[in-house]
Amino acid sequence: MRLLNLNSLDLVEFMDHEKPPYVILSHTWGAEEISLQELQSQHPDVKRRNGWTKIMNFARKGKENGFEWGWVDTCCIDKTSSAELSEAINSMFKWYQRADSCYAYLSDVFGSEVVQPGPLSRTTAEQFASSRWFTRGWTLQELLAPSSVVFYLQDWTMYGTKSSFRDEISRITGIPAVTTTNPDSLSSFSVAQRISWSSNRQTTRLEDLSYCLLGILGVHMPLLYGEGARAFIRLQEEVIKVGNDPTIFAWLSNGFPKPRSTTAPADNWESPLAPSPRHFINAGKTKRSLSRDKQYGPWWGGLESMQSPCSAATEQMRTMKVRVNSTDWHFTSVMTYTIVFPILRAFCF
């Protein structure tokens, strides 16, 4: 892991066992971000950019709070190396999780309680609730992984912490409040629930909708930029290989478009795996109720057959039969709800 010295701005690599205490930045990218090479050059033109100002303010706040080291995704990863980028993205959840503190910078939330530049006036609380930070794919893990998240406004005024805003954050994101006070509780939520938290988020690159979920779902896989929607299929395959959670199949196909990388109509989607995270949008209450000592995996190795996913577009009820490890499972779509049950009930919502 490469860390930024907050005093000298030097970049220094550390092995896992020797990393010093560090603070980590969470933010949404703008048009003038600073790369590793640009930080090292410290060219006068670079220092005039908004990205440089952001790094300087982050370093200043870190030093004020007693930190010597920090991490910023724009300048602490050499993005000219595909191998380093892949390793970094697969490790990023862990890096945020192990940070001593995370500063979430909200560039679109202003310090005034009553006035915001522009034709509309909104309170800071209203700006906070509609911040772009809550809509981006990568900031999901940056909210969930760290034990401490401190929110800073556009002028770098401290606004509060994720623990102090736990109920408000839950209302904004639809994520249970327990995750803000106990990051270790993440594993108690089903795969379908965790994917559903990303269903309304966006990323600049299509593949990143999948890659930003790697740590949240506890899997690793190589990055293949250019693969488009295929990335989400690979992600689900990895989840099935390493896990034992049948809620991975609890998605709905009706009402959603087919991925951009395919050409057949959405109603003809025949894979047992969902085309995109958006298909889990109604899975926020899908709980895994299989007994902890009951093992049905690895699912991928035991998947014998599956019909096309359920769709309620023309019927009120449709059943999809799945055979996994000699066990018959039946997925039934009733209106907009999905109930899944084998010979023994698996889960429902």
322-345 residue pLDDT tens: 444 444 444 443 333 334 433 223
The pLDDT score that the predictor gives to residue 270 is 64
Q: Are β-strands 101-105 and 23-26 bridged in parallel, bridged antiparallel, or unpaired? A: parallel
Residues 116 and 235 in one domain: no
Residues 342 and 197 in one domain: yes
Residues 197 and 268 in one domain: yes
pTM of full prediction above 0.85: no
What are the tokens at 246? 């049948």
Residues 195 and 179 in one domain: no
Q: How many CB atoms lie within 10 A of CB 349?
A: 17
The last residue of a domain, from among 168, 188, 208: 188
Confidence label for 181 from pLDDT (cuts 50, 70 and 90) = confident
Residues 18 and 135 in one domain: yes
Q: How many domains does the chain have?
A: 2
Q: Are 64 and 58 in contact (CB under 8 A)?
A: no
The pLDDT score that the predictor gives to residue 112 is 62
Q: Are 272 and 303 in contact (CB under 8 A)?
A: yes
Mean pLDDT across 87-105: 98
Chain-centre distance of CA 144, in angstroms?
A: 8
What are the tokens at 287? 């709980």
The last residue of a domain, from among 167, 188, 209: 188
Residues 180 and 267 in one domain: no
Q: Are β-strands 149-152 and 101-105 bridged in parallel, bridged antiparallel, or unpaired? A: parallel
Instruction: List Cα–Cα distances, 16 to 6, 43, 195, in angstroms.
Output: 19, 31, 29
Residues 209 and 276 in one domain: yes
The pLDDT score that the predictor gives to residue 83 is 96
How much of the chain exceeds pLDDT 70, in percent?
Answer: 74
Q: How far apart are CA 185 and CA 193, in angstroms?
A: 13
Task: Tell whether the model's pLDDT for residue 43 goes beyond 60.
Answer: yes
Q: How many CB atoms lie within 10 A of CB 75?
A: 24
Confidence label for 8 from pLDDT (cuts 50, 70 and 90) = very high
Residues 151 and 209 in one domain: no
Residues 57 and 199 in one domain: no
Mean pLDDT across 91-117: 86
Residues 54 and 133 in one domain: yes
Confidence label for 170 from pLDDT (cuts 50, 70 and 90) = very high
Confidence label for 122 from pLDDT (cuts 50, 70 and 90) = confident
Instruction: Between 339 and 232, name the one with better pLDDT.
Output: 232
The last residue of a domain, from among 128, 158, 188: 188
Residues 73 and 89 in one domain: yes
Strand extents, DSSP E, the chain:
2-5, 11-13, 23-26, 69-71, 101-105, 149-152, 158-161, 303-306, 317-324, 327-334, 337-342, 347-348
Cis peptide upstream of residue 257 (ω within 30 degrees of 0): no
Residues 44 and 73 in one domain: yes
- Residue range(s) defining the domain that contains residue 71: 1-188
Residues across the chain: 349
Confidence label for 206 from pLDDT (cuts 50, 70 and 90) = very high
What are the tokens at 183? 């990051």
The pLDDT score that the predictor gives to residue 115 is 47
Instruction: Between 253 and 349, name the one with better pLDDT.
Output: 253
The pLDDT score that the predictor gives to residue 319 is 45
Q: How far apart are CA 22 and CA 123, in angstroms?
A: 33
Q: How far apart are CA 279 and CA 233, in angstroms?
A: 12
